[in-house]
Structure 1
Amino acid sequence: MRARTPPGAPSSVDDIHDIIRDEIITLRLMPGAKVSENELGRRFNTSRTPVREALLRLVDEGLVKVWPQRGTLITPISLRAVRRARFVREAIEVAVFRKAAIDGLPEAVLSRLDAIMAEQEAAREDAIRFTEADDAFHHAFADGISVGDIWAVLEREKVQFDRLRFLSLPNVTPVSVLIEQHEKMIAAVRARDPEAAEQAVRHHLSEVLKVTEQLSARYPDFIINDM
């Protein structure tokens, strides 16, 4: 993780971007919320120029939009982007899990996965902590077959997917279901069964899409059906 700007010092463009991006993904900044360059400048102890540059990056990522006469707003969750991210993620992760099952994983990686599962169990009531462990779980498999850098591709693609995922936890998608699915994925890889591993991954990644309609009905102001 990149070091943050020391307390009291003006924040860099990267810091401002990363912090706001994280707050949007975890829904601490909700869809439709208005953001002010002046307020952000005060918050990050900097001028409007780095704030504006950070916001422009978020515009490019589809997380922020500048509306004439209305200001800068956090965008709603795009179902089109969610489905695109799921398509990309499934293609990559199926390949990762099949290779992990065929080649096997080092004991150190399997031990790390056991520790991550324990962290997920402990984080059942904390959506942010649980999701961090969830990402660590998937990342560990990529590391285990020496393609960990591919996670950067997924991070760029799955931003809207992650927003929907946070919206679904824990009231719509039970955490216990996700933990059970992860256990099946590990079991398939341990058994060196690539077919079972692929099936488990596809089933797991379809979980959020199963509740999309329910989420759209519950949060009509937060989700846009732009399919």
Structure 2
Amino acid sequence: MVTKNVLPAPLRRDASSSSDGISSSERTASSASPAAPARGRARATEPRVALPNLRAQLQVESHEPIGKQIFRALREAIFSGALVPGTPLSETEVSEMFQVSRQPVREAFIKLVESGVLQVLPQRGTFVKKISPRRVREGRFIREAIEAAVARKAAVEISMEQLAELAENLRDQKTAAKVNDTTSFLALDERFHFLIAQSIDCVAAWDTIQDIKAQMDRVRYLSLPEVSPLELLIKQHARILSGLKAHDADAAEEAMRAHLREILVSLKPVAERNPDWFEPDEGERVHLAN
């Protein structure tokens, strides 16, 4: 049975957990001696939160480094909402989940911090970060510059076999949309863009985009299907494919630009629907809508 994406409820503190990390013996001693110096007390700690088991996402026989697989598994969990903003993550707990040493987990954390989806708070820990509207717009601006150039080049160089693969992908998107399978649709959407980059033998362009579109992807998960109907996105993909089939560089480029600007339309309503997921907005010094 196919279901819509259902966002988990916000994390709640465990009522039985200590709010300040002080043991019962320390608390008793403290109450008995009000003048005792505060520096002897344990620092505040965040409540433990049960994490979803992501180990199944690792491919045991894969030649890909384990750190990269852990990075992708955590990133997907953050994008899909399995790990909501504010969720605390520890290297020890995640390494135990994946049954690996802490080193590959540390590497994954560093990449996730660089992507803007994790934040490290001194003396508190590492947490899933809220979405930054400004970084969404900045990521889209950079992604559009790259993918518009890719689409333009692909319109000249793409082969019949590659066009056929894109057409098949588009058919699969329609199938997923009919049953409202947003998870499959998003995977097909990713592959559609990847195939275009692959058609010009420039997968490096797609790899570069992966590093800058993290905030965009989080909004995409939240926007489907109510804010950004799947049928609309399919029509936009079809326009891109039509330009490629016609070997019309101008048409392919413009269709790609229009498609990637869709997130500028959906960003505000998505933020209004999910206020706890977003940081306060900041205006850019330079307008990035064009």
Query: Into which bin does the TM-score normalised by the smaller protein fall?
Result: 0.7 to 0.9
Structure 2 counterpart of 1:30: 84
Q: CA deviation at 1:41?
A: 2.8
Partners of 2:119 and 2:157 in 1: how far apart?
45
**Structure 1 residue 114 corresponds to structure 2 residue 167:** yes
> 1:54–1:199: structure 2 CA closer, same or farther, 3 Å change rule?
closer
Using the aligned pairs only, state the percent identity: 39
Amino acid at match of 2:77: E
* CA-based RMSD: 2.2
TM-score normalised by length of structure 2:
0.70
Partners of 1:213 and 1:49 in 2: how far apart?
38
Amino acid at match of 1:145: I
Partners of 2:108 and 2:190 in 1: how far apart?
24
Partners of 1:188 and 1:203 in 2: how far apart?
13
Give the structure, 1 or 2, with the largest relative contact order (CA under 8 Å, sep 6 or more). Answer: 1
Q: CA deviation at 1:49?
A: 4.7
Q: Are the aligned partners of 2:115 and 2:212 in contact in 1 as well (CA < 8 Å)?
A: no
Segments of structure 1 that go 5 or more residues without pairing to the other structure are: none
**Structure 1 residue 88 corresponds to structure 2 residue 142:** yes
Partners of 2:230 and 2:75 in 1: how far apart?
24
**Structure 1 residue 220 corresponds to structure 2 residue 282:** no
**Structure 1 residue 171 corresponds to structure 2 residue 235:** no
Segments of structure 2 that go 5 or more residues without pairing to the other structure are: 1-57, 284-290
Structure 1 counterpart of 2:59: 4
Instruction: Give the 3-state SS of the residue equivalent to 1:29 in structure 2.
Output: coil
Partners of 2:163 and 2:101 in 1: how far apart?
47
Q: Are the aligned partners of 1:120 and 1:134 in contact in 2 as well (CA < 8 Å)?
A: yes
> 1:194–1:13: structure 2 CA closer, same or farther, 3 Å change rule?
closer
Q: Give the counterpart of 2:263 among 201, 205, 208.
A: 208
Q: Deviations over 1:98-126 (max 9, x none)?
A: 2222x252110011011101111122222
Q: Deviations over 1:118-140 (max 9, x none)?
A: 11112222222111111111111
Structure 2 counterpart of 1:59: 113
Q: Are the aligned partners of 1:104 and 1:189 in contact in 2 as well (CA < 8 Å)?
A: no
Could you tell which deviates more after superposition, 217-226 or 150-159? 217-226
Structure 2 counterpart of 1:105: 158
Partners of 1:55 and 1:161 in 2: how far apart?
19
Structure 1 counterpart of 2:213: 158
